[in-house]
Structure 1
Amino acid sequence: MPADVPVDQPPRGLSAGERGTGGDAWTRWFWLWDVYLGIGYVALVAMALGTDEPTPAAKAVVTALLSLMAAWYVVFGRRTIVSRRESPARGRIFIAGEVALLVAAVAIEPSAAFALFAVCPLVFMTLRLVEAVAVTVAINLLPLAAAIMEEDAGQVLAVVAPLVLLTAVFSPLLGAWIHRIVAQSAERGALIRELEASRGEVSRLSREAGVAAERARLAAEIHDTLAQGFTSLVTLVQAAESELDGDRDKARRHLRLAARTARENLGEARALVAGLMPSALGTGSLDEAIRRQVERLAEETPIQATYRVEGESAGLPTVTEVLLLRAVQEALTNVRKHSGASAVSICLRVDGSAAVLRVADDGTGFDITRPSDGFGLVGMRSRATQVGGSLSVHSGASGTTVEVEVPR
């Protein structure tokens, strides 16, 4: 396959950890929140059980309320937070349950207000930012309310009020940071899904482009080799048939040429199937291959063909040699079939910057502005363009000149 044909490579694909919302960074690292909340739950229960003032019954109730908060998160809240696809109402129900249990726990044991360090992040992970700020400001007043209920309210307020002010300021900042992380995670998940879709589309388009380019290449190869060979075969067989009742030696000569052409065509077919260079180049240089084309034309037709080379063609790249040989074959086929020429000259000029092939005949010419159903000139121009070259055609009453220029 030519180097310019896009090759369809299998997409690398995204791992399960990279794919979709369920595999973004938020979900992969959410277990850290579970660890944080688990540690907070254990610490709060230990604190509640370690105090001296509440009665054993009160300690049991506070422990039960904290356990219910943890269970409510595990059973109902975690899925709401992780999926981020549930309805806003589900998130509000979860937070309402957590806040209600927290208020009850703080009313029994003020030290339960330390649960705010766990509840506030959950609020921001669940609700919209405006709602979350309002809820956190409200629940951060719980320690202040519990202090007012104490017997020595003035002394307690002196200690609690600064802490309440600090948490009231800190909680919105923490919440905004959490919201930013969640938003970025969602955006990255959407980008990953879009990347997967784009990668699949690029793979499909690359495959289609590769198939189209390979079809065009095969069409040009078949036209430049097999089709031209079959044209020669038809011409030689017809010439032999016309000589059967007259000059049998001439008929045999035409048949021998037809047999040689058929063998060469078979070699071209095998080379085409194998994806190799033209068989004419496989047995010699470009100069020799062009001379054989000229000799065949002189043997098969009365057209006088000449060939000369200026410069050294041995150092040309293989792709350039193939292009120039195909151009010669196509130009001589057009001379044979359409020109009605009596003479044709071929000149290959090679210098340090370019290789120029010029094929000129003295035929009747044709109108180059008229659309043509043939593939020859189109294929020649396409081949030249692929390697950065150009094709020019000049035709008139005095003949036709085809010139192909290819950079070295």
Structure 2
Amino acid sequence: MPSSRAAAEPGDAPWLAIVIHLTFFLLLGSALTRYVQRHIDSPDAAAVLALAGVLALLYVLGPAVGRLAVVPERTAVRFSHGPGRPPARHLLWLGAVVAAWAVLVALAPSFSWCAVPLFYTALRTLPPLAAYVLVTAFTGYVILAQLRLAHRFDVDLVAGPAAVAALATAVFAFMDRQSARQAALIGDLVRARRELAATERREGTLAERQRLSMEIHDTLAQGLSSQRMLLQAADRVWDDDPARARTHVRTAASIAERNLAEARRFVHDLAPADLAAGGGLPEALRGLAARESTAARTVECHVDGEPGPLPDRVQSALLRIAQGALANVREHSGASRAALTLTYLGDEIRLDVADDGRGFDPSRPAGAGTGPGGARGHGLPAIRARVEQLGGTLTVESAPGDGTVVSAAVPLRTEEAGAP
């Protein structure tokens, strides 16, 4: 019958329990029918019929006793008196079943075959050692009952019950081990899935942090840097050239306005403001070039090839790359001319940012000096990270005094070209 141990073993097949229960009642009914047909006039008939009814009733009460005896805890079930030990309530129920069966067999040995399903109940209810002892006692008692019924010694009556008990015990032990292995495997899979989910969350968090740091660097930080430079320039000429100072202030205000728009869209995780305005990447680059052009520096924009639709993430990344590269030009190069060139090559799109500034040595470690990969901000490492996220390549050509060309090439798969 279902018991505390049965409930603790999720690997038990429900159909097997049903078969065992049906077998018990079939054997009990068969023995009772045989007794009624042959011994209804016996003086013990009333006691046998009563005991058979009591045994059937006790067996039926097994599920209710099992439910009351266990306390579920998530997927595992623990005994109310400690893990691995059956509770007193269930031991009392099992003792009552065994006692009723033993007295019944003493009065009518033909009921001894009901011991077969009781083997299964004992094995599921008790710890292994106690269960094996009880099964052995069952077997010996059945052998004695069968020999008393036959009125003679027969090897079959000794070997048969012993073989059945051994087979039932071996089958249960095998199923018990399989159930334990299955439970362990399920536990390992659940733990592995949780660890994988935790790893993915950590990786996603790190990737999002990197994305946010690059977004802040390429938008808010660069805008604030430009405003600071313009306001400092306005402060230097405020007394000598008020008109020029006002021009610097107006330009700083314009940058602040764009920074505000970027910050709002950044909070809502939308596309860059230039892209959201319509016109796609080419128009966004032209607008960027126009804003970066000053009296001291001219920035041009060229588009080669046949423009086509690009995935949003590619457009956003290339615009951020252009912003970062021009920020390096503005802050570090001292260039008087710069050029943005966007080239459509069918299966690839290329963005080149060239300037005629002082240049630098690309072989020097990042953070050394004041070149585009120098100590301020993310510089080239941030640009390179964006290109690598798109599966592209970044090339930097420069030398001291010869200007700089930063080239980002991003491959385009056919299915991505028409992506929204």
Give the Å deviation of 1:241. 2.4
User: Aligned match of 1:288 in 274, 283, 291?
Assistant: 283
Does 1:377 find its partner at 2:372? no
Structure 1 residues 103, 315: closer, same or farther in 2, change over 3 A? closer
User: Aligned partners of 1:53 and 1:259: how far apart in 2?
Assistant: 111
Matches of residues 85-164 of structure 1 in structure 2 within 5 Å?
Answer: 85-87=83-85, 105-125=104-124, 126=126, 127=128, 138-147=140-149, 150=151, 153=152, 157=154, 162=156
Of 231-240 and 132-141, the range deviating more from structure 2: 132-141
Residue 396 (str. 1) matches residue 399 (str. 2): yes
Separation in structure 1 between the aligned mates of residue 291 and residue 405 of structure 2, nearest angstrom? 20
Comparing 172-181 and 119-128, the one that deviates more: 119-128
Residue number in structure 2 paired with 1:250: 244
**Alignment check: 8 A CA contact 1:136 1:168 kept:** no
Task: Kindly indicate whether residue 406 of structure 2 is the aligned counterpart of residue 405 of structure 1.
Answer: no
In the TM superposition, what is the alpha-carbon distance from 1:101 to its structure 2 partner? 6.4
TM-score by length of 2: 0.74
1:86–1:98 Cα change, 3 Å: farther
Question: Do the aligned residues in 1 keep the contact of 2:147 with 2:157 (CA within 8 Å)?
Answer: no
Cα distance change of structure 1 residues 65 and 315 upon mapping to structure 2, 3 Å threshold:
closer
Cα distance between partner residues in 2 of 1:228 and 1:327 = 12
Alignment-derived partner of residue 364 in structure 1: 358
Q: 2 CA distance for matches of 1:336 and 1:143? A: 104
Residue 277 of structure 1 and its aligned partner are, at CA, apart by 0.9
Measure how far apart 1:403 and its partner are.
1.5
Q: Is the 8 A contact 1:103 1:142 kept in 2?
A: no
State the identity as a percent.
32
Q: Do the aligned residues in 1 keep the contact of 2:387 with 2:410 (CA within 8 Å)?
A: yes
Identify the range of structure 1 (218-227 vs 328-337) with the bigger mean alpha-carbon deviation. Answer: 218-227
Match of 1:174 in 2: 168
- CA distance, structure 2, for counterparts of residue 62 and residue 86 of structure 1: 37
Contact 2:339–2:354 under 8 Å retained in 1: yes
Unaligned stretches of 5+ residues in structure 1: 1-19
CA distance in 2, matches of 1:401, 1:21: 72
1:24 to 3, 10, 26: 10
Secondary structure at the aligned position of 1:401 is classed as strand
> Do the aligned partners of 1:106 and 1:142 also contact (CA within 8 Å) in 2?
no
Specify whether residues 118 and 53 from structure 1 end up closer, same or farther in structure 2 by C-alpha distance, changes over 3 A only.
Answer: same
Distance 1:206 1:29 in 2: 40
Map 1:9-408 → 2, pairs under 5 A = 22=8, 24-26=10-12, 32=18, 33-34=20-21, 36-38=23-25, 40-41=27-28, 44-45=31-32, 47-48=34-35, 51-52=38-39, 55-57=42-44, 60=47, 63-64=50-51, 67=54, 71=58, 85-87=83-85, 105-125=104-124, 126=126, 127=128, 138-147=140-149, 150=151, 153=152, 157=154, 162=156, 165-283=159-277, 284-299=279-294, 302-368=296-362, 369-372=364-367, 373=375, 374-397=377-400, 398-408=402-412
**Take 1:23 and 1:166, find their aligned partners in 2: how far apart are those partners?**
30
- Indicate the larger mover: 352-361 or 85-94: 85-94
Contact preservation (8 Å) 1:69, 1:101:
no
Tell me the number of residue pairs that the alignment of Structure 1 and Structure 2 aligns.
380
Cα 1:102/1:285, change in 2 over 3 Å: closer
Residues 117-150 of structure 1: CA deviation (Å, up to 9, x unaligned): 33333354454697688556545523442145x2
Query: Do the aligned partners of 1:62 and 1:109 also contact (CA within 8 Å) in 2?
Result: no
Q: Distance in 2 between matches of 1:223 and 1:267?
A: 15
Would the alpha carbon gap of residues 404 and 102 (structure 1) be closer, same or farther in structure 2, given more than 3 Å must change? same
Other-structure match for 1:6? none
Contact 2:227-2:255 within 8 A present in 1 as well = yes
Query: C-alpha displacement at 1:406, in angstroms?
Result: 0.6
What secondary structure is seen at the aligned counterpart in 2 of 1:370? coil
CA deviation after TM superposition for structure 1 residue 74, in Å: 5.9
Q: Which amino acid aligns with 1:400?
A: T
RMSD (CA atoms)? 4.0
Distance change >3 Å, CA 206–CA 198, structure 1 → 2: same
Report the 3-state secondary structure (helix = DSSP H, G, I; strand = E; otherwise coil) of the residue aligned with 2:407.
strand
Cα distance, 1:135–1:378 mapped onto 2, change above 3 Å: farther
What amino acid is the match of 1:294?
Answer: A
Contact 1:387 1:406 in 2 (8 A): yes
Question: How far did residue 323 of structure 1 move?
Answer: 1.2
d(CA) in 2 for partners of 1:218, 1:38: 70
Contact 2:233/2:248 (<8 A) preserved? yes
Q: Which amino acid aligns with 2:386?
A: R
The offset of 1:226, in angstroms, is 1.3
**CA-CA distance at 1:355 after TM superposition:** 1.1
- Stretches of structure 2 lacking an aligned partner (at least 5 in a row): 1-5, 71-76, 368-374, 413-420
- More divergent stretch after superposition (277-286 vs 174-183): 174-183
Alpha-carbon distance change, 378 to 139 in structure 1, aligned in 2, over 3 angstroms: farther
State how far apart, in whole Å, the 1-side matches of 2:123 and 2:9 are. Answer: 21
CA offsets, 1:364-405, max 9 Å, x none? Answer: 333443232532322222221222112232332123221211
Larger deviation: 124-133 or 166-175? 124-133
Equivalent position amino acid for 1:262 in 2 = A
Secondary structure at 1:141's aligned position in 2?
A: helix
Q: Does the aligned pair in 1 maintain the 2:338–2:353 contact within 8 Å?
A: yes
Q: Label 1:325 to 1:71 Cα distance change in 2 as closer, same or farther (>3 A).
A: same
Matching residue's letter, 1:145: L
